[in-house]
């Protein structure tokens, strides 16, 4: 029977077997001990055979969203199974659930909340990373993943298009032995495309400040979209 603590945590296919404050290094919330509560995790992800032999027990510590305003320290004790299917190239596998995929250190809902805070909550990447207790690269990547799921493949019609340059970070180069020249790895300049008359805001931002950067982005739009642009606002950069 599912207990109330398991319901409060709300992680499907895992049960809470114990919760306590003792030993919590952060001191901000309880240590919550989890076990797997579904036999479907014994299915080999490679061949689909049901495992019958356990190799060992392992304990992982996935990070999750706060519960009742406190960040819990999860300890998931799960099994590593042998796959006895002779034709299967996978010898062993560890239990996994939808919210905590294999080798994941963060739950799916923590990653989604981090990205949504930037896309829908108006927070910066730095703010969302700090609030969710993750690193800046993780917050940036999950924001990009969130945006990719909700944004259309093509922007809507634009009547007044703004094109401008933005300086971002420091450049990096690498020496190319074949051409005996320095090649740009990271350009400090980006070009942004903005809907100035509608409500779409930033349409795209592309690394590099070259004419090819501008024409390539415009070339990825449909002819009907380009025909709908009546005015273009640019600065005095010769590239534009």
Counting Cβ atoms within 10 Å, is residue 218 exposed (0-12), middle (13-18) or buried (19+)?
middle
Domain ranges of the chain: 1-104, 106-151, 160-233
Segment 120-141 mean pLDDT: 93
Mean pLDDT of 114-123: 92
Mean pLDDT of 23-35: 73
What's the pLDDT at 179? 82
Percentage of the chain with pLDDT > 70?
94
* Segment 37-60, tens digit of pLDDT: 888 899 999 999 999 999 999 999
Name the strand (E) or helix (H) holding 194.
Answer: strand 189-195
Question: Residues 194-217: pLDDT tens digits?
Answer: 999 988 888 988 888 888 889 999
Contacts 24+ apart (CB under 8 A), 175-179: none
Containing 36, the helix (H) or strand (E) segment is: strand 31-36
Instruction: Give the pLDDT band (50/70/90) at residue 1.
Output: low
pTM above 0.75, yes or no: no
- pLDDT score of 187: 64
pLDDT at 6: 85
Alpha-carbon distances of 27 from 32, 71, 75, 128, rounded to whole Å: 13, 10, 15, 22
The structure tokens listed for 215 are: 């024409």
Closest CA to 61 of 10, 104, 98, 9: 104
Please name the helix (run of DSSP H) or strand (run of DSSP E) that holds residue 14, with its range, or none.
strand 14-20
22 has a pLDDT exceeding 80 = no
pLDDT at 224: 94
Is pLDDT larger for residue 235 or for residue 215?
215
> In which band, very low, low, confident or very high, does the pLDDT at 134 lie, cut at 50, 70 and 90?
very high
User: How far apart, in whole angstroms, are the C-alpha atoms of residue 140 and residue 56?
Assistant: 36
C-alpha dihedral (97, 101, 103, 106), degrees to nearest 10:
-100
In whole angstroms, give the CA distance from residue 202 to residue 105: 32
- State both tokens at 15: 């049960």
Look at residue 23 in the predicted model and tell me its pLDDT. 53
Tokens of 189: 């300049």
């Amino acid at each position: 029977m599912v207990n109330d603590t398991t319901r409060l945590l709300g992680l499907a296919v895992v049960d809470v077997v114990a919760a306590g404050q003792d030993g919590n290094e952060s001191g901000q919330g309880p240590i919550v001990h989890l076990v797997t509560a579904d036999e479907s995790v014994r299915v080999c992800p490679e061949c689909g055979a049901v495992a019958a032999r356990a190799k060992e027990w392992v304990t992982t510590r996935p990070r999750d969203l706060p519960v009742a305003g406190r960040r819990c320290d999860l300890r998931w004790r799960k099994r590593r199974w042998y796959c006895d299917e002779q034709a299967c190239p996978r010898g062993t596998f560890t239990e996994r659930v939808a919210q905590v995929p294999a080798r994941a250190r963060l739950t799916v809902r923590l990653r989604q909340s981090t990205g949504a805070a930037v896309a829908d909550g108006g927070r910066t990447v730095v703010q969302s990373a700090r609030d969710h207790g993750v690193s800046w690269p993780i917050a940036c990547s999950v924001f990009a993943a969130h945006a990719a799921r909700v944004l259309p493949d093509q922007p809507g019609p634009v009547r007044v298009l703004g094109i401008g340059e933005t300086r971002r970070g420091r450049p990096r180069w690498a020496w190319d032995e074949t051409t005996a020249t320095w090649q740009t790895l990271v350009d400090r300049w980006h070009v942004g495309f903005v809907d100035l008359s509608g409500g779409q805001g930033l349409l795209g931002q592309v690394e590099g400040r070259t004419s090819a950067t501008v024409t390539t982005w415009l070339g990825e739009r449909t002819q009907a979209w380009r025909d709908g642009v009546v005015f273009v606002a640019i600065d005095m950069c010769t590239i534009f």
